[in-house]
Amino acid sequence: MDLKNKRAAKWKHHHFWVSFCHACQGLNTAWKEERNLRFHSMMTILVILIGFGLKVTLGEWLWLGLSITLVLVCELINTAIENVVDLIVGAQNNSLAKKAKDIASGAVLVASIFSLIVGFMVFVPHLWQIFFN
Ligand SMILES: Nc1ncnc2c1ncn2[C@@H]1O[C@H](COP(=O)(O)OP(=O)(O)OP(=O)(O)O)[C@@H](O)[C@H]1O
């Protein structure tokens, strides 16, 4: 949509709080519809509880926070891409639709592997201290 049409669109607005509410609505919809997002959110809570339990340092919290945020953001973008692809092709089998969805899922996988590595590097030394020192 060009800039002129965008401004003319009835649903377009320029208030920060309205945009904020729409973003929250988006999170709510993704939470209700995406099982993977709920799974990653549960993992986030688990990681935070373990972090408190092991008394990780501020620097370690930053790495954990970065990896958690990266996974959740990738999951949200993946969901948005899936919805746009479905909007365009519907139930039709399409090789480009498959490519787009699989690449978006690949982004989630890369972020998840990064977060697993970070979790391993942060938690293992703490667990080692507890069990072997
Ligand atoms: N319109 C389509 N045409 C061809 N292949 C598709 C189409 N829609 C989905 N697929 C493929 O079918 C498989 C499952 O797609 P689906 O949309 O269920 O996503 P998913 O990978 O299970 O992710 P999620 O669990 O996040 O929904 C994927 O390999 C995807 O690329």
- One-letter amino acid at 101 equals K
Q: What is the DSSP string of 7-48?
A: HH-TT----HHHHHHHHHHHHHHHHHH-HHHHHHHHHHHHHH
Q: Each residue of 7-55: pLDDT tens digit? A: 566 667 668 889 999 999 999 999 999 999 999 999 999 999 999 999 9
Q: Each residue of 120-129: pLDDT tens digit? A: 999 999 999 9
The model's pTM is 0.87
Distance from the alpha carbon of residue 113 to the mean position of ligand 1, in angstroms: 21
Q: What is the ipTM of this complex?
A: 0.90
Determine the 3-state secondary structure of 2 from DSSP.
coil
25-30: long-range contacts (C-beta < 8 A, 24 or more apart)?
Answer: 26/76, 27/76, 30/75, 30/76, 30/79
Radius of gyration of the chain (CA): 19
Which residues does the annotation mark as catalytic? 75
- One-letter amino acid at 6 equals K
Domains recognised in the chain with CATH numbers = 27-132 (1.10.287.3610)
Nearest CA to ligand 1 atom 30: 98
User: Which two three-digit tokens encode residue 33?
Assistant: 């519809």
Residue 114 has pLDDT above 90, yes or no: yes
